[in-house]
């Protein structure tokens, strides 16, 4: 029995080492940095809790937080509806369905930064084939980009959930005379709950950490209207060269994310129990 435990631990070691090295150590380092004034070169100086008290009256941070929350709600709703819709469309084996599944998933093969640059070129007023003009195309273009890039991926996850539902449940419902809507409401959605929970959690954490799309497409503009939280962290670290302050904001964001995710998972778990 002891031998089994030892060999089990050995099997787990590589993964544990990787997690420790690339997750736990950097995490502790960030927390440590957030307690110091941390210059690029030279000796860090302990200054806690300055980096945290500064978070409270950071001018840019509150507007960025508000924007990030609005963006998260918007993109999660849209992305979920589109991805679920696509998944339902390509759910059944029909001639040609393989082509559409591939087509919907294909944007995922393009790197996110490359995709952002692609959209920047496409929508450019100067050089783009589909120039986007008007007063506030900034948020719209970013939403469009994220939908195009991620709908297929989320579709794929939802598809695996859909296909895990036994066909006989639907057959039984059909014999009982259930309508399509009833089958969707009473069978598909309840049985999909764990998959939906996974997809929503990924969408929300992903959107709260949005960076690439705004960094490349809008640079946070116009007038800071699309500045996300991670862009503020980037500014603290790489423009103001204040690593301690950036670490402080990161830790606050991390705690908030952990709270959001645990609440979300708890709610979904209780419902499915």
Partner 1 sequence: MKAKLAAVALLLATAACGADEPGAADDGATLTLWTRAATEAVSKAYADAYNASHRNKIEVTAYPNEEYPAKLASAAGAKSLPDLFASDVVFAPQYAAQGLWADVSDQFKSLPFKDSVAPSHVRAGTWEGRNFAVPHTIDLSVLLYNKDLYVKAGLDPEKPPRTLREFAEHARKIDQLGGDVNGTYFGGNCGGCVEFTLWPSVWAAGGEVLEADGRSARVDSREMAEVFALYRDLYDQGVASPASKGEAGPTWLGALQGGKVGIAPGPSVWLDAIEAKGVKTGIAPIPGINGGESTFVGGDAIGIGATSGKTQQAWDFLAWTMSDEAQVEVIAKRKGVPVRTDLAANKHSSADPRLVTVNGLVAKGKTPYARNFNATFNDPQGPWLTTVRGALFGDATASLMAGNEAITKSLRQE
List residues near partner 1 by CB under 8 A. 37, 39-42, 59-60, 124-127, 219-224, 227, 231-232, 234-235, 237-241, 243
Q: How far is the CB of 50 from partner 1 (least distance, A)?
A: 10
Q: Which is nearer to partner 1, 39 or 190 (CB)?
A: 39
Q: Which is nearer to partner 1, 49 or 221 (CB)?
A: 221
Nearest to 84 by CA among 224, 196, 240, 213: 196
Q: Which is nearer to partner 1, 207 or 245 (CB)?
A: 245
DSSP H or E segment with residue 37? strand 36-37
Q: Which is nearer to partner 1, 137 or 260 (CB)?
A: 137
Q: Which is nearer to partner 1, 81 or 241 (CB)?
A: 241
Q: How far is the CB of 127 from partner 1 (least distance, A)?
A: 8
Q: How far is the CB of 41 from partner 1 (least distance, A)?
A: 5
Per DSSP, the three-state class of 41 is coil
Q: How far is the CB of 144 from partner 1 (least distance, A)?
A: 18
Q: How far is the CB of 121 from partner 1 (least distance, A)?
A: 11
Q: Which is nearer to partner 1, 29 or 97 (CB)?
A: 29
Nearest to 210 by CA among 112, 132, 131, 81: 112
Q: Integer distance in angstroms from the first to the last C-alpha of the chain?
A: 34
Alpha-carbon distances, residue 232 vs 5, 80, 120, 154 (angstroms): 46, 27, 22, 28
CB-side neighbour CA atoms (13 Å) of 261: 16
Give the distance, in angstroms, between the CA of residue 224 and the centroid of all CA atoms in the same chain: 21
Distance CA 119, CA 137 (A): 12
Q: Which is nearer to partner 1, 152 or 244 (CB)?
A: 244
Angle at which helix 97-105 crosses helix 137-163, to 10 degrees, equals 130
Distance CA 251, CA 34 (A): 8
Q: Which is nearer to partner 1, 27 or 97 (CB)?
A: 27
Distance CA 243, CA 234 (A): 9
Q: How far is the CB of 110 from partner 1 (least distance, A)?
A: 19
Q: How far is the CB of 235 from partner 1 (least distance, A)?
A: 5
Residue-by-residue DSSP string for 182-246: HHIIIIIHHHTHHHHHHHHHHHHHHHHT--HHHHHHTTT-STTTT--HHHHHHIIIIIS--HHHH
Q: How far is the CB of 37 from partner 1 (least distance, A)?
A: 8
């Amino acid at each position: 029995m002891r031998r089994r435990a030892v060999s089990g631990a050995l099997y787990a070691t590589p993964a544990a080492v990787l997690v420790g090295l690339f997750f736990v150590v950097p995490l502790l380092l960030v927390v440590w940095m957030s307690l110091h004034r941390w210059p690029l070169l030279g000796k860090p100086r302990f200054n806690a809790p300055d980096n945290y008290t500064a978070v409270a009256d950071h001018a840019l941070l509150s507007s960025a937080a508000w924007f990030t929350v609005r963006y998260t709600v918007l993109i999660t709703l849209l992305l979920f509806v589109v991805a679920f819709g696509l998944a339902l469309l390509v759910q059944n084996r029909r001639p040609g369905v393989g082509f559409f599944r591939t087509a919907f998933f294909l944007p995922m093969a393009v790197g996110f930064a490359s995709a952002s640059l692609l959209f920047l070129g496409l929508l450019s007023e100067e050089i783009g084939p589909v120039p986007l003009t008007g007063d506030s195309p900034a948020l719209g273009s970013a939403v469009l980009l994220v939908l195009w890039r991620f709908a297929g991926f989320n579709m794929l996850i939802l598809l695996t959930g859909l296909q895990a539902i036994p066909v006989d449940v639907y057959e039984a419902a059909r014999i009982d005379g259930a309508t399509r809507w009833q089958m969707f409401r009473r069978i598909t959605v309840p049985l999909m709950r764990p998959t939906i929970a996974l997809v929503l959690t990924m969408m929300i954490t992903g959107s709260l950490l949005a960076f690439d799309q705004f960094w490349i497409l809008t640079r946070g503009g116009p007038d800071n209207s699309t500045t996300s939280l991670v862009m503020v962290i980037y500014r603290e670290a790489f423009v103001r060269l204040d690593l301690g302050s950036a670490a402080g904001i990161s830790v606050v964001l991390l705690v908030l994310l952990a709270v959001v995710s645990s609440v979300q998972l708890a709610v979904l778990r209780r419902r499915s129990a």
